[in-house]
């Protein structure tokens, strides 16, 4: 077993001084004002150990990372029916997502692009009594941490700038692939985006995907096959238009968010979460990508 | 001068008994319940004469025809600035209008497709004190007829089924090509669609486009160049994906609506309006197209 | 009757000194080396008179203008069957013509875009014994001028740079909308592009479209309905992505070529041809557009 | 260590009697005439052992599988420069590959789709003295088997039906992303497609991708990083529009061909090859997919 704490510290030292730390997401003030100097890494291994370095206890906006948690909840609730409403294949380049949705008659390519996650949000709105509260309860249960919450300001900012998401939701509605009101689904969706978590909380929440569907407290939430599906989706669709690059550089299933977080995992081995708010041109955390590449190289643990 | 009344009556007789009258638009109940047997034609010549046959005094839903009136008002208000926000070229096929809008960065191809008319609606919302009242006033002034009005039920039905228009408006907004709130612009837009007029009212309203910008009462609303622009747009973009076919069959600038109306005109000569609610596969009035083709053939009056 | 010679001369004087004469097409050396100072206008009226100014007797590369002549020959040969293989609607913007062809399963939008003209070329290769000779014979007959010929160097240059046309022809072939060998069709197509004519020869050749299908020598080549179809196509699709603009500026059916020529016509009245090799951004002759706009304004003869 | 021979035999028995064996590729006679009853599996482990069942010694048309071998040779020859001409990201759905190529200015999304493989073929034509012979030599060296060869009839049939590939190659040429003559590149490309190999030969040829770039005879052909890149590409782009599904069902980097072959591998563990010519709707071998899914489940060896 490698000395993980030493590895994380070495990576942190190597990476923290990189001069080009990328660009902060600036479409909403809550993200635009984050300090680019933040950098944290947290690792949880399947044997229950936990390692951290830097700002791994500082909460940040999970953004698209929460799409994976939403997906897992939807699959737990309605199982294979999920795939009647959303596909499982990579979507290619991002500039024409609405075009793709039009051509494919309202079935999003996969649940990790925005239009797909809006369909997942619709499923949760239909199947949870109090969608926001119940989803939060789910995440708190996964992590054993009742402090996790939405950031109302972020949710509000997402809403008032989220015209492309409104366009996508209305287009889905026109194809009858949205059962609830656009406003209700997007309200839930924007709250999902606003979920705030630390690196260690994210490692803990994603633990079930590295542990056959059982969360940290050993409760089974989804079955083996569903875990496999989610990991396959993260591997092929988890990084916007950089899924191929991430598969190469890091070689793990994972998901990034424009808040600068990345969660990646190796089944039966570990979950690792990084946070550094500066993004590369494709919208993925610059230092995070570097750190994860180094980790899989140094720890000799990747799918390849 | 041909005997226009006789020509209209001959066309009416020839056309009314066509067995396949096309299909009624069924996306909202107010259109779905219209009797397919309705058929009217009205002609107004530039020398002030007026001819009618069939249901030419019965009001119907103008739908997209009102886009031309809205455009003329926008041009009267802001002139050439209109073209900074919308193009003047045909758009090709209709199934991927949002795709096109995405590729062209939020500048609709022309003001007679939905996304373009939404931009025009936005211009009117910005430049009219009471958009709905003022627009109605404009149409009433053009026609000298104060009975013309919106149909609130139609406007409401358009609104609750208009997800594609909501998608387009939000996409425009995401490209910063919508200055007002989506709700406000679409409320006005859906009212435009719901405008109810008779064949003779439409001929009268469109009289200015055949008369160098002067309405029936000889008031100048738009200049020569603006008239030319509007007629060129109708000729190349006025019939969804059947502009080329209409240019061939009829050879006049014109505009159709899914309510079954068509207005066409020959500058300095006449405006002719038909109404028959059954539509062909491309969404244009079946009997209307037939009647107009016969008219230009019999009257030997087309642009070709 | 206006004094046409005086009008042409006035236009010539007004236009020839415009400082920005546009950009010469540079994709083949034969076009790249043309002097931008060339400028000619020729008018033929339906009563048989002829007027010219500037370089109207100098031959130039007709390029896409010859697509109209090819179309008329194909329609003469196979009539309405033409429309089983090519559409009659405008195509929207040009950058994704292959995309459009793919989406529409190998049926080009209209016969005046490249892919459509390649289908027309295929029809002629199938229906003429010696396609190149027979087509030339047709043009010579229309004009009564046996000196008209292809430019072999231009045809060769088109061929060795024509990769997009090869791509289009092969895509058509994959959709089974090309009956002959790609090489044979494109050899004919590239020769069509290379046809050299003067302004006056072009006015004469297009005379049949302004004269109900009868050529200068009064021979009927195509019928009334076919003339109407061709004029409708020129009006809606004759100017690449500037059809709407041309309909507005000039208001006549017409066709331009990257060699700098434009032919336009008013049925029963006249054919006018301009040549000035400098092109605007959309690929149409800059001085030609200006001249034609002035002509319809001064002569008060347009479809609007 | 599992008893691999027993596992393969169990899978073979389970799978061979599936009643719906899919559809044989029928676009060329050489594939159309293959017996759907063929079925073989071959496994080579990293410790040098070899296991086979069914028709694993029968040669079949490798088709797209050879794209991976071509890519590895190109990377060996020009290294990172490869990525100046072709991308590394999944391409989304297949019906509009030319559209995508147009939008992305002639840079194919990845080297495993046809347009990307044509670019790779161009690189090999530029960098090998005798492309066909030299490529064959490479494959023979990888496998230690001099009997491997192209099937001239298949290459010829590919050529005379390959209009979409001609379209793609010409489009690449128009974007200056093809340095050699279209004919020369496609001649080589069609020969690549026609490469005939058995399951065991394929397992042996792909051995270097599971063994850090060293072939069976321990010669280093490509470095670690290049192996990682190729495996990442297979994982995200190896199965047409079923990459996500394959990642889920099988969870291994792999590549399929319309000849019915699939090669998949787990780095440092094994290469497995299946052949069953019946294809599912997405063009991947039906029995092959089933067999590989069972294998990773039974052997508990996948990336997840």
Catalogue all structural domains in chain A, each as residue range(s) with its CATH number.
4-299 (3.40.710.10)
Q: What is the model's pLDDT at position B301?
A: 74
In this model, does residue C94 exceed pLDDT 70? no
Q: How confident is the model at residue C60 (pLDDT cuts 50, 70, 90)?
A: very high
Q: Which residues of B fall below an 8 Å CB-CB distance to C?
A: 87-93, 96, 100, 103-104, 109-110, 227-229, 231-233, 235-237, 241-245, 247-248, 251, 253, 267, 303-304
CA distances from C253 to B47, C197, D58 (A): 27, 20, 65
* Nearest CA among C12, C41, C94, C49 for reference residue C282: C94
Q: What is the model's pLDDT at position B48?
A: 87
- What average pLDDT does range C47-73 have in this prediction? 97
Hey, are the CB atoms on B99 and A99 less than 8 Å from each other?
yes
Q: Are strands D40-45 and D270-275 parallel, antiparallel or unpaired?
A: antiparallel
Count of other CB atoms within 10 angstroms of residue B78: 16
CA-based nearest residue in chain B for residue C233: B244
Average predicted confidence (pLDDT) for chain B: 94
> How many degrees, rounded to 5, is the angle at CA A164 between CA A160 and CA A167?
105
Hey, are the CB atoms on A244 and D237 less than 8 Å from each other?
yes
Hey, are the CB atoms on B235 and C235 less than 8 Å from each other?
yes
Q: How confident is the model at residue C95 (pLDDT cuts 50, 70, 90)?
A: low
Q: Active site includes A227?
A: no
Number of Cβ pairs < 8 A linking chain B and chain C:
107
Q: What is the model's pLDDT at position A142?
A: 97
Q: What is the model's pLDDT at position A93?
A: 63
Contact C263, C254 (CB under 8 A): yes
What percent of chain A is predicted at pLDDT more than 70? Answer: 97
Which residue matches tokens 């059947």? B242
Return the structure tokens found at D302: 């996948």
Give per-residue pLDDT as tens, D160-215.
999 999 999 999 999 999 999 999 999 999 999 999 999 999 999 999 999 999 99
Give per-residue pLDDT as tens, C187-243.
999 999 999 999 999 999 999 999 999 999 999 999 999 999 999 999 999 988 888
Q: What is the model's pLDDT at position A94?
A: 59
Catalytic-role residue among C64, C66, C157, C203: C64
* Nearest CA among A131, A136, A87, A135 for reference residue A113: A87
* Nearest CA among A225, A224, A228, A207 for reference residue A216: A207
Return the structure tokens found at C259: 């060699």
In this model, does residue D93 exceed pLDDT 80? no
Return the structure tokens found at C264: 């336009």
Q: What angle do helix axes A182-193 and A66-78 make, rounded to 10 degrees?
A: 130
- What average pLDDT does range C160-185 have in this prediction? 96
Catalytic-role residue among B66, B240, B250, B255: B240
Q: What is the model's pLDDT at position D94?
A: 59
Give per-residue pLDDT as tens, A122-170.
999 999 999 999 999 999 999 999 999 999 999 999 999 999 999 999 9
Q: Active site includes B240?
A: yes
The pTM (predicted TM-score) of the whole model is 0.94
Contact A192, A165 (CB under 8 A): no
Q: Which residues of D fall below an 8 Å CB-CB distance to A?
A: 87-93, 96, 100, 103-104, 109-110, 227-229, 231-233, 235-237, 241-245, 247-248, 251, 253, 267, 303-304
Q: What is the model's pLDDT at position B99?
A: 74
Q: What is the model's pLDDT at position C97?
A: 73
Q: How confident is the model at residue A302 (pLDDT cuts 50, 70, 90)?
A: confident
Q: Is the dihedral of CA D112, D115, D117, D120 positive or negative?
A: negative
Q: Active site includes C258?
A: yes
In this model, does residue A96 exceed pLDDT 80? no
In this model, does residue D28 exceed pLDDT 80? yes
- What average pLDDT does range B160-177 have in this prediction? 96
- What average pLDDT does range B82-101 have in this prediction? 81
Q: How confident is the model at residue A95 (pLDDT cuts 50, 70, 90)?
A: low
In this model, does residue A10 exceed pLDDT 90? yes
The subunits that touch chain D, with at least 3 C-beta pairs less than 8 Å apart, are: A, C
The subunits that touch chain A, with at least 3 C-beta pairs less than 8 Å apart, are: B, D
Q: What is the model's pLDDT at position B94?
A: 59
Q: Active site includes C64?
A: yes
The alpha-carbon gap from C38 to the nearest alpha carbon of chain D, in Å, equals 30
Contact B262, B255 (CB under 8 A): yes
Q: What is the model's pLDDT at position B208?
A: 97
Q: Among A33-47, A61-75, A233-247, whose mean pLDDT is lowest?
A: A233-247
Residue C254 pairs in a beta bridge with C264
The alpha-carbon gap from A298 to the nearest alpha carbon of chain B, in Å, equals 43
ipTM of the complex, rounded to two decimals: 0.93
Q: Active site includes B67?
A: yes
Average predicted confidence (pLDDT) for chain C: 94
Give per-residue pLDDT as tens, D261-278.
999 999 999 999 999 999
Q: What is the model's pLDDT at position D100?
A: 75
In this model, does residue D1 exceed pLDDT 80? no
Q: How confident is the model at residue A48 (pLDDT cuts 50, 70, 90)?
A: confident
Count of other CB atoms within 10 angstroms of residue D215: 21
- What average pLDDT does range D64-83 have in this prediction? 98
In this model, does residue D95 exceed pLDDT 90? no
Q: What is the model's pLDDT at position C241?
A: 81
- Using CA atoms, how far apart are residues C219 and C239, in angstroms rounded to an integer? 29
Hey, are the CB atoms on D102 and C99 less than 8 Å from each other?
yes
The alpha-carbon gap from B101 to the nearest alpha carbon of chain A, in Å, equals 9
CA-based nearest residue in chain D for residue C104: D96
More confidently predicted of D299 and D29: D29
Q: Which residues of B touch A105 (CB under 8 A)?
A: none
Contact A247, D235 (CB under 8 A): yes
In this model, does residue C93 exceed pLDDT 70? no
Hey, are the CB atoms on C228 and B242 less than 8 Å from each other?
no
């Amino acid at each position: 077993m490698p000395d993980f704490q030493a590895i994380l510290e070495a990576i942190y030292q190597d990476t923290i001084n990189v001069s080009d730390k990328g660009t902060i997401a600036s479409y909403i003030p809550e993200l635009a004002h984050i300090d680019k100097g933040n950098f944290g890494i947290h690792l949880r291994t399947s044997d229950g150990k936990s390692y951290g370095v830097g700002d791994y206890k500082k909460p940040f906006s999970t953004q698209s990372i929460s799409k994976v948690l939403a997906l897992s909840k939807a699959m737990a609730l309605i199982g294979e029916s999920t795939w009647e409403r959303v596909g499982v294949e990579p979507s290619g380049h991002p500039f024409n997502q609405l075009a793709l949705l039009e051509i494919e008659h309202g079935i999003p390519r996969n649940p990790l692009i925005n239009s797909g996650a809006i369909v997942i949000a619709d499923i949760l709105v239909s199947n949870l009594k109090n969608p926001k509260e119940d989803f939060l309860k789910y995440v708190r249960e996964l992590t054993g941490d009742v402090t996790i919450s939405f950031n109302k300001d972020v949710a509000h900012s997402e809403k008032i700038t989220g015209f492309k998401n409104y366009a996508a939701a209305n287009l889905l509605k026109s194809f009858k692939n949205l059962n609830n009101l656009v406003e209700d689904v997007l309200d839930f969706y924007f709250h999902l985006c606003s979920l705030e978590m630390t690196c260690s909380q994210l490692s803990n929440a994603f633990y079930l995907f590295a542990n056959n569907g059982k969360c940290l407290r050993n409760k089974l939430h989804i079955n083996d096959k569903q875990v496999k599906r989610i990991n396959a989706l993260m591997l092929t669709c988890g990084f916007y238009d950089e899924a191929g690059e991430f598969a190469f550089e890091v070689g793990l299933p994972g998901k990034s968010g424009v808040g600068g977080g990345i969660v990646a995992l190796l089944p039966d081995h570990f979950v690792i979460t990084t946070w550094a708010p500066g993004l590369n041109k494709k919208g993925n955390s610059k230092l995070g990508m570097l750190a994860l590449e180094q980790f899989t190289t140094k720890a000799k643990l990747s799918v390849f």
